[in-house]
Amino acid sequence: MAKPRDDQVFVKDGRRHHRPVYSRTEFRLGIGIVAILAGIASWIAWRGRNPDPELFQSGEALLGAPDATSPGAAGGGGTTASADRGPLPEDLAGEGWREGPVSTFGWDNLYVKIDGREDYYKTFGFRQLWFVSIAREDDPATAVDLELYDLGTKENALGAYAGERPEGIVAEPFPGGLGHLDRNALLCTRGPLYLRAIGSAESPEVRAQLERVRDAFGAGAESAGPETDLPRPYALFTEGLGVAAGDVAYTAENAFSFGFAQEVYSTRLSDDSEIFAVESGDAAARLAQQFRDGFREYGEAAGTAEAVEWTSDRYLHTIAGAKAVDGWTIGVKDAPDLEAAKAHLARLETAVKSLANGADR
* Among candidate residues 352, 348, 332, 346, the one with its CA nearest the CA of residue 271: 332
Reported as a single tens digit per residue, the pLDDT across 272-286 is 999 999 999 999 999
Same domain, 334 and 275: yes
Are 205 and 107 in a shared domain?
yes
Q: Do 63 and 103 form a contact (C-beta atoms < 8 A)?
A: yes
Q: Considering the domain boundaries, does residue 254 fall inside one?
A: yes
For 206-236, what is each residue's pLDDT tens digit?
A: 999 999 999 999 887 665 555 557 888 999 9
For the four alpha carbons of 101, 106, 109 and 114, in that order, the dihedral sign comes to: positive
Asked whether residue 128 falls in the same domain as residue 185, the answer is yes
Domain boundary among 226, 246, 264: 226
Whether the per-residue pLDDT at 77 is higher than 60: the answer is: no
Quick one: 147 and 222 in the same domain? Answer: yes
| 239 and 148 together in one domain | no
For the segment 59-87, the average pLDDT, to the nearest whole number, is 47
Q: What is the pLDDT of residue 54?
A: 59
Query: Using CA atoms, how far apart are residues 269 and 246, in angstroms rounded to an integer?
Result: 13
Identify whether residues 96 and 182 lie together within a single domain: yes
The percent of residues in the chain predicted with pLDDT above 70, rounded, is 81
Is 301 within the bounds of a domain?
yes
Task: Write down which residue in 192, 226, 260 finishes a domain.
Answer: 226
* Same domain for 305 and 346: yes
The answer to the question of residue 210 being in a domain is yes
Compute the distance between CA of residue 160 and CA of residue 149 in angstroms, rounded to an integer.
10
Closest-CA residue to 89 (of 217, 273, 223, 232): 217
Do 84 and 163 belong together in one domain? yes
- Look at residue 24 in the predicted model and tell me its pLDDT: 80
Q: Which of 200, 226, 252 is the last residue of a domain?
A: 226
Same domain for 103 and 212? yes
**177 membership: H or E segment, kind and range:** strand 177-182
12-16, 19-23, 317-321 — which is least confidently predicted?
12-16
Which of the four pLDDT bands, split at 50, 70 and 90, describes residue 11?
Answer: low
Let me know if residue 169 belongs to a domain: yes
Binned at pLDDT 50, 70 and 90, residue 257 comes out as very high
- Asked whether residue 80 falls in the same domain as residue 194, the answer is yes
Stated as kind and residue range, the H or E segment containing 133 is strand 128-136
pLDDT at res. 211: 94
Structural domains counted in the chain: 2
User: Where in the sequence is the domain holding 154, given as residue range(s)?
Assistant: 61-226
Question: Is residue 91 predicted with pLDDT exceeding 60?
Answer: yes
Query: Which residue stretches of 14-117 are H helix?
Result: 24-49, 59-62, 110-114
Q: Say which residues have a Cβ less than 8 Å from residue 187's Cβ, sequence separation at least 6.
A: 161, 164, 165, 179, 180, 194, 195, 196, 197
80 domain residue, yes or no = yes
Please answer whether residues 335 and 318 qualify as being in contact, where contact means their C-beta atoms are separated by less than 8 angstroms: yes
Report whether pLDDT(76) > 60: no
pLDDT of amino acid 223: 56
Q: Is the pLDDT of residue 57 over 50?
A: no
The CATH number covering residue 350 comes to: 3.40.1000
Q: Is the pLDDT of residue 307 over 90?
A: no
pLDDT digits (tens, 9 = 90+) for 150-190: 999 999 999 999 899 988 888 888 888 899 999 999 999 99
Shared domain check, 204 and 68: yes
Residue 112 lies in a domain: yes
Question: Looking at the structure, do residues 70 and 98 belong to the same domain, yes or no?
Answer: yes
Residue 32, domain member (yes or no): no
Within-domain flag for 52: no
Q: Residue 243: CB partners within 8 Å, gap ≥ 6?
A: 237, 267
Cα separation, 179 vs 172, in Å, equals 5
